[in-house]
Amino acid sequence: MKDFRYVGKPITRIDGREKVSGAAIYTDDIDFGPNLLYAEIVSSPLPHARILSIDTAAAEQVEGVVKVFTGRDFPFKFGLYMKDRYIFAQDKVRFVGEQVAAVVARSQQIAKEAAALVKVEYEELPAVLDQMTAVCDECTLVHPELGDYPHVPWFFPKPGTNIAHWRKTRRGDLEQGFAEADHILEENYEVPRYAHCAIETHVAIGKFDHSGRLTVWSSSQSPHTQRHLFAEALAPMGLTHKDIRVIAPHVGGGFGGKAGVTMEIIPAALATKLRGYAVKLRWTREQEFVNTYQRLGVVAKIKLGVKKDGTITALDHKIYWDAGAYVEYGANVVNAVGLSAIGPYRIPNLSIDSICIYTNLPPGGAYRGFGYSEMLFGLESHMTTIAKQIGMDEIEFRRKNAILEGDKTAYGAAMNPNGLIEAIDKVVEAIDWHKDYQNTDPRKAIGKGFAIFWKAPAMPPNASSSAFLKFNEDASINLIISGMDIGQGYQTVMAQIAAEILGVNPAKIRVETPDTDRNPYEWQTVASHITWGSGNAVKRAAIDAREQILDLVERVHHLSRDSLYLEDEAVKCHTQPSFNLPLKSFVVDGIPTEDGSYRGGPINGRGMFMPEFSSATGDPETSQGGHPNVHYTVGAGALILEIDRDTGKMKVLKAAEAIDAGKAINPDLVKGQITGGLLQGLATILYEDMRYDEKGRLLNANFTDYKIPTSLEVPEEIIPIIVEVPQPDGPFGARGIGEHTMLPAAPMIANAVEDALGIRIRSMPITAEKVILTLLQKGKQDA
């Protein structure tokens, strides 16, 4: 493989100094002066109710309160893939925590006290708090008007039910496939909801100035999409995109939770009725838990048929999603998995039903992995189980059935080049899988767990990225793009791509957080697609700049274009080694000629990337045809787990994870995603445990009782492995990996628990408590 100067190197991040010095500005750090107003939300205490009345009189009387707003002020709908959501609840509330009114005041304290004085009268309605109840006949409808909601053409809602979308994927002959099987396994798996727990909560400030211009500062993964949704939602107020500007400062963690639009629309809307003021809304940690996106809950029914030689013949995979009260984003999670729930396997006869079900719980939405973690928990648990049942080594089973380049995906497209086999082999080697991990302590049991994974970006077919690039007088570069560095290192990776093309060190390339007025369009920083999408746009912008430079030098210095190249901030020539024209001498000023006139001028590059082969139009009944996913990223993982037999407490002794990055633009950052993602994945299976009561209230909406890992939870050893089978249409062969690193964690643990203790637990989380209670229960049954 070609060795590059900057690409493929583990360089230090270009945002390091800013973040480590404390200079980095996050949304709540911005000062807006004495005219900043503060909003406090009045939220629903009930999961499902009609709003009979809202009495704001007492709240309005409080000194320092500027105004009190309710749904009547903003009867507008919005939504990314489906318009089912409101800025404030209208006639009904649909989950505990839903915003019903807002008090805007001169201080947060005043707003909070006044909000407590707002009196809302409710008429309680029956609530549906789980998807299996919500999907049955004669059930309370969360959205009786579902039939009227505009949505993207690839969603299939069932009006008159709580089914907001039903993705069906069918290929081959399922009945025949099961008939050919020598062994069939049918099991159900349950995965609850999870919270992102970014350390920075959602926060946004809206300002509507006297010229009628709305600016929103928000902690966001998606400034352009936010602007678009604001424009759509606020169109009835006469606003269009031209009038709306979104500025996205540094983000203190996203994980999908800051994609799309959730609470940000509130201060945006409030501002439009408070001309001249800035209005801030910042979620408390409790609000962050209950009123932002949550990861959807899953009940999965898997029926798998295999031959005795391990060949998979058929898969029937039904997934019922608890998608919450509004599914404008969550329905696409359901869709994405509905197209991919075969996992990274070659399966000739398949049926997938992925059903998005409304419930009276917080809205489900994008969460790192976009449904694949939930799906793979069941599927990879199932694969290990069936391999053992037919007496086959589970690694061999996976190798045998692994999807290869050219094999058909679930919807009939050809699988992209991928290093799945290589990933499996490297993990097996790194973890020393075949070693007999016996231990000397009789109190502990040791188990091994393995899983493979895949994921494709779930995006509309026209998700695009753009880039502007400009040089400064010192040959430094400003890369003007709208992807968000949410921690993954995006800014650095883009700088490395531009650096490689232009011969300028990444340390001299500035990539900063975007402003939708200045920075060209980027769909969203989600889906693990921006290394690929934005990377392609940046590469094109850099090439555009390079072409301008080389054209200019050829024109002025009469050197053949083909002989020129860029290196060390200069234009050099293969055929004339002495030629060295520093970029800084002309990238702004132009090249002076003998007669005193100049040629060229400021070099500004432009690039754009939008896939033109992606299409969401498959057959609604089978999903065949179309090309909804641009490509898949694959990987494998294994871990060695120690379990205390008496307490159930688990410790990951060693974990290895391999991911096929195509080309790791910055290997250190890929490793960072493996370490961080793996721990986040382990947290979902070992510690995080959302508890709702029978009235749909989240009981542990804080870090005291929703446990995310501390530094003491780090596995003893994590071995990150980068596989590189190039993505043909990726920049330098790169494809995305950010979400994927979480995916194998849960099934690895489930498989390791079974290996260690002989118990198969099919629901998450698998806490120490659950292990012991399962063992005790089994003990009673065996007795």
> Residue-wise over 467-506: b if at least 16 C-beta within 10 A, else e?
bbbbbeeebbbebbbbbbbbbbbbbbbbbbbbbbbbbbbb
Q: Among the candidate windows 182-190, 547-555, 610-618, 683-691, which touches another protein by CB under 8 A?
A: 683-691
- Kindly state the helix (H) or strand (E) to which residue 394 belongs, with its residue range: helix 394-401
Stretch that binds another protein, among 146-154, 343-351, 583-591, 641-649 (CB under 8 A): 641-649
Tokens of 541: 């912008």
Residue 31 Cα distances to 37, 248, 323, angstroms: 12, 15, 37
Q: Which is nearer to another protein, 308 or 691 (CB)?
A: 691
Write down the least CB distance from residue 373 to another protein, Å: 15
Q: Which segment (301-309, 453-461, 629-637, 672-680) binds another protein by CB under 8 A?
A: 672-680
Closer Cβ to another protein, 576 or 647, answer by number: 647
Contact region for another protein (CB under 8 A) — 393-401, 423-431, 668-676, 724-732?
668-676
DSSP string, 114-166: HHTT-EEEEEE-----SHHHHTSTTPPPS-TTGGG--B-TT---BTTTTEEEE
Interface residue with another protein among 109, 240, 389, 462 (CB under 8 A) is 109
Under the criterion CB under 8 A, does residue 495 sit at the interface with another protein? no
User: What minimum distance in Å lies between the beta carbon of 773 and another protein?
Assistant: 6
Among 5, 9, 26, 585, binds another protein (CB under 8 A): 26
Residues 63-92 interacting with another protein (rule: CB under 8 A): none
Contact flag: residue 247 with another protein (CB under 8 A) = no
User: Residue 599 or 651: which CB sits closer to another protein?
Assistant: 651
Interatomic CA distance for residues 245 and 519, integer angstroms: 11
> Which span sits near another protein by CB under 8 A: 336-344, 453-461, 530-538, 643-651?
643-651
d(CA 75, CA 71): 6
**C-alpha to C-alpha distances, 718 to 630, 708, 721, nearest whole angstrom:** 30, 18, 10
Helix (H) or strand (E) holding 331: helix 330-338
**Taking the complex as a whole, how short is the minimal distance between the CB of residue 668 and another protein, in angstroms?**
6
CA distance 588 to 471: 7
With contacts defined by CB under 8 A, how many residues of the chain interact with another protein? 82
Q: Which is nearer to another protein, 254 or 605 (CB)?
A: 254
Question: Does 190 sit near another protein (CB under 8 A)?
Answer: no
Taking CB under 8 A as the rule, does residue 294 contact another protein? Answer: no
The region of 264-272, 344-352, 501-509, 771-779 touching another protein under the rule CB under 8 A is 771-779
Asked if 40 touches another protein (CB under 8 A), the answer is no
Binding mask 431-470 for another protein (x = CB under 8 A): ------------xx--------------------------
Q: Which helix (H) or strand (E) holds 671?
A: helix 667-686
Mark the segment that binds another protein (CB under 8 A) among 67-75, 261-269, 418-426, 645-653: 645-653
Nearest to 40 by CA among 288, 282, 285: 282
φ, ψ dihedrals at 716, nearest 5°: -60, -40
Contact range with another protein by CB under 8 A, out of 252-260, 583-591, 623-631, 750-758: 252-260
> Which one of 211, 438, 578, 710 is in contact with another protein (CB under 8 A)?
710
Q: Report the residue number, 1 or 199, with the smaller CB distance to another protein.
A: 199
Query: Is 255 an interacting residue with respect to another protein (CB under 8 A)?
Result: yes
- The number of beta carbons lying within 10 Å of the beta carbon of residue 196 is 23
Pairing label, strands 312-324, 509-511: unpaired
Q: Specify whether the CB–CB gap between 367 and 298 falls below 8 A.
A: no
Tokens of 180: 């050919």
271 is a contact residue toward another protein (CB under 8 A): no
Taking the complex as a whole, how short is the minimal distance between the CB of residue 453 and another protein, in angstroms? 18
| Residue 506, preceding peptide bond in cis (omega within 30° of 0) | no
Spell out the SS3 assignment of 403-453. CCCCCECCCCCECCCCCHHHHHHHHHHHHCCCCCCCCCCCCEEEEEEEEEE
Of 89-97, 182-190, 228-236, 679-687, the segment contacting another protein by CB under 8 A is 679-687
| 3-class secondary structure, 42 | strand
* Closest distance of CB 644 from another protein, Å: 3
Is 32 one of the binding residues for another protein (CB under 8 A)? no
* 396 DSSP β-pair partners: none
Going by C-alpha positions, the residue among 471, 511, 504, 480 that lies closest to residue 601 is 471
Residue from 262, 117, 142 nearest 696 by CA: 142
Helix (H) or strand (E) holding 185: strand 183-191
Q: Does 712 participate in binding another protein (rule CB under 8 A)?
A: yes
Member of 192, 223, 252, 736 binding another protein (CB under 8 A)? 252
Is 251 among the residues that bind another protein (CB under 8 A)? Answer: yes
Which positions from 715 through 744 interact with another protein, judged by CB under 8 A? 718
Q: How far is the CB of 39 from another protein (least distance, A)?
A: 16
Residue from the set 176, 462, 702, 758 that interacts with another protein by CB under 8 A: 702
Q: Does 13 bind another protein (CB under 8 A)?
A: yes
Q: How far is the CB of 623 from another protein (least distance, A)?
A: 34
Q: Which residues contact 647 (CB under 8 A, 6 or more apart)?
A: 768, 772
Lookup: tokens for 172:
């081959």
Q: Which of 52, 179, 235, 699 binds another protein (CB under 8 A)?
A: 699
Q: Is 45 in the site for another protein (CB under 8 A)?
A: no
Q: What is the DSSP letter of 249?
A: -
Give the range of 232-240, 354-362, 595-603, 697-705 binding another protein by CB under 8 A: 697-705
Q: With binding defined as CB under 8 A, does residue 705 bind another protein?
A: yes
Asked whether position 772 contacts another protein by CB under 8 A, the answer is yes
> Which of these ranges, 13-21, 348-356, 380-388, 606-614, lies near another protein under the rule CB under 8 A?
13-21
Gap between the Cα atoms of 732 and 723, Å rounded: 14
The yes or no reply on residue 676 touching another protein (CB under 8 A) is: yes
> How far is the C-alpha of 187 from the C-alpha of 209, rounded, in Å?
58
Q: Phi and psi for 52 in degrees, rounded to 5?
A: -90, -40
When asked if residue 199 is in the footprint of another protein (CB under 8 A), the reply is: yes
Shortest Å distance, C-beta 701 to another protein: 10
Stretch that binds another protein, among 76-84, 309-317, 544-552, 702-710 (CB under 8 A): 702-710
703 binds another protein (CB under 8 A): yes
Q: What is the per-residue binding string for another protein in 469-488, x denoting contact by CB under 8 A?
A: ----------------xxxx
- Residues contacting 310, CB < 8 A, separation 6+: 387, 390, 392, 396, 397, 400, 401
For tokens 């301008």, name the residue.
548
- Residues in 348-367 that interact with another protein by CB under 8 A: none
Q: Which is nearer to another protein, 273 or 697 (CB)?
A: 697
Among 174, 342, 502, 669, indicate the residue that binds another protein (CB under 8 A).
669
Radius of gyration for the chain, computed over Cα atoms and rounded to the nearest angstrom: 27
